[in-house]
Amino acid sequence: SYRTAASVDSFGEAGHGFLKRMLSVRNGVIAGIAFVTLMMLVGGILGIGGLHLSSKAMQSLYYDQMTPVQIVTRVQFLMAENRTQVALSLHHTPGVYTEGQLDHGVEEHLEKISANKVEIDRLWAVYAAMPRSGQEQELSEEYAHARYRYVSEGLIPAKAALELGEYSQADLLLRTTVIPLYHEANTRVDALMRFLSEKAENNFREVEERNRNISAMAIAGLSSAIVIVVLSGFFFFRGTVSPLREAVEAME
């Protein structure tokens, strides 16, 4: 009876020890799953956050920097085209070309000048509504003043002379007013273009450097996470196998 009671007590203690070890294993498994889940969640948040920051930086680069460059480039082209349209209109001077050599009238050139002016005004209004400061503000105001003179003192009077058929007056205005004022305005817009291009290039380099830093941080974070998971897994399995072995030995 004494041996039986001792055996029962020994078995009870072994069972109790086995239960404690199994609970320890279960807690370890739960902790391991929670840890891996947390690492995946943190990695996902960092990765999505990095992509979001990169996307916002690229959008800012395009809308804040490239859009002004595109607008000013288009304005510059339309200004040059208007000067060309005035010169082409002089081909309709009576006696310059015989009847039938031109397949269109001078009105086509005048309509083109008016349409270009409307588009320039619209584009400049869009650009003027964008945030500007410092040197950009100064350069844009200088160009706006030079363009106003080009339009009011050169382009509009030349167009009016062509509409009245005063080709000699239009030719005089082209040589003495339109072309000189165009070159003045073009010099101003060139300076603005250089500033905008340099600004866009500098911002692009900043965004590129920022993206490289984000990538480096993501790689470093991923490498660290892998190392941590590997080490944690090692100690986890080490801590799990040992209680299981002890539990098996106790049951045996």
Helix boundaries (H) for 61-133: 67-89, 106-128
Q: What percent of the chain has pLDDT over 90?
A: 31
C-alpha separations of 197 from 66, 146, 233 in Å = 8, 21, 53
Q: Which range, of 88-102, 132-146, 224-238, averages the lowest pLDDT?
A: 224-238
How does residue 83 score in pLDDT terms, banded at 50, 70 and 90?
A: very high
189's CB contacts (< 8 A; 6+ apart) are 72, 75, 76, 79, 143, 146, 147
Buried b (16+ CB within 10 A) or exposed e, 40-65: eeeeeebeeebeeeeeebeeebeeeb
Quick one: pLDDT at residue 249? Answer: 76
How does residue 116 score in pLDDT terms, banded at 50, 70 and 90?
A: very high
This model's pTM is above 0.85: no
Quick one: pLDDT at residue 153? Answer: 93
- Mean confidence (pLDDT) of the chain: 77
pLDDT, average across residues 105-122: 92
Buried b (16+ CB within 10 A) or exposed e, 3-39: eeeeeeeeeeeeeebbeebeebbeebeeebeeeeeeb
Quick one: pLDDT at residue 59? Answer: 60
Token pair of 103 as six digits: 């397949």
Quick one: pLDDT at residue 91? Answer: 87
Alpha-carbon distance of 34 to 229, in angstroms, equals 12
How does residue 129 score in pLDDT terms, banded at 50, 70 and 90?
A: confident
- Among residues 221, 212, 200, 196, which one has the least CA distance to residue 53? 212
Alpha-carbon distance of 224 to 162, in angstroms, equals 76
Token pair of 237 as six digits: 């399995």
Judged by phi (left if over 0) then psi (alpha if -120 to 50, else beta), residue 26 lies in alpha
Q: How remote is the C-alpha of 119 from its chain's centroid?
A: 26
pLDDT, one tens digit per residue, over 188-222 is: 988 988 888 887 777 777 777 777 777 777 677 66
How does residue 109 score in pLDDT terms, banded at 50, 70 and 90?
A: very high
pLDDT, average across residues 127-136: 83
